[in-house]
Amino acid sequence: MKSRLIGGISSYLTNLECYCDESFVTLVQGDGLILSTTSGSTAYSLAAGGSMVHPQVPGILFTPICPHSLSFRPLILPEHVTIRVQVPFNSRSPAWASFDGKDRKQLAAGDALICRMAPWPVPTACLIDSTSDFLHSIQDGLHWNLRKTQSFDGPREQ
């Protein structure tokens, strides 16, 4: 699993009850939620305000999409947890789950999506090594921390 997007397609605010190992975490109110592995949907999670995480860091990215609260920030959860995202029984509209941008499925009121990491990692091919490739990728692909050097506009010494 690279990423799962859960959200609505109507003009209603999406409400999703989120649980981590059967403990209530939060009620997502916003456009939706991205759940992904660290090697998964980095670009989409990043665009929604998520963190850049090295792909060898075991964990699950929990990234809200346009949350209806300024205090709702992304989380990185440990690899061993089970996440359950449920459409509340009093939901005004269904939610939709998309898996890696494909296979969209409707979630009606009361339906839940269970997400956990597989016990077997997927091997990845590296040009150099995973850290060098990751850093090269964010520097070249995202121009991470790249900025133009400012010109000096102050008085010049003679």
Q: Is residue 44 over pLDDT 90?
A: no
pLDDT, tens digit (0-9, with 9 covering 90-100), for 45-102:
888 999 889 988 989 999 999 999 999 999 999 999 999 999 999 988 889 888 877 8
pLDDT, tens digit (0-9, with 9 covering 90-100), for 56-68:
898 999 999 999 9
Q: What is the mean pLDDT of residues 126-153?
A: 87
Specify the DSSP class assigned to residue 110: T
Adjacent-strand bridge partners of 153: none
**Whole-prediction pTM value?**
0.84
User: How large is the C-alpha radius of gyration of the chain?
Assistant: 19
How many angstroms separate the CA atoms of 105 and 14, rounded? 15
Position of tokens 């397609």? Answer: 9
**Quick check: helix, strand or coil at residue 133?**
helix
Note the pLDDT of residue 26: 96
How many angstroms separate the CA atoms of 101 and 103, rounded? 7
**Quick check: helix, strand or coil at residue 129?**
coil
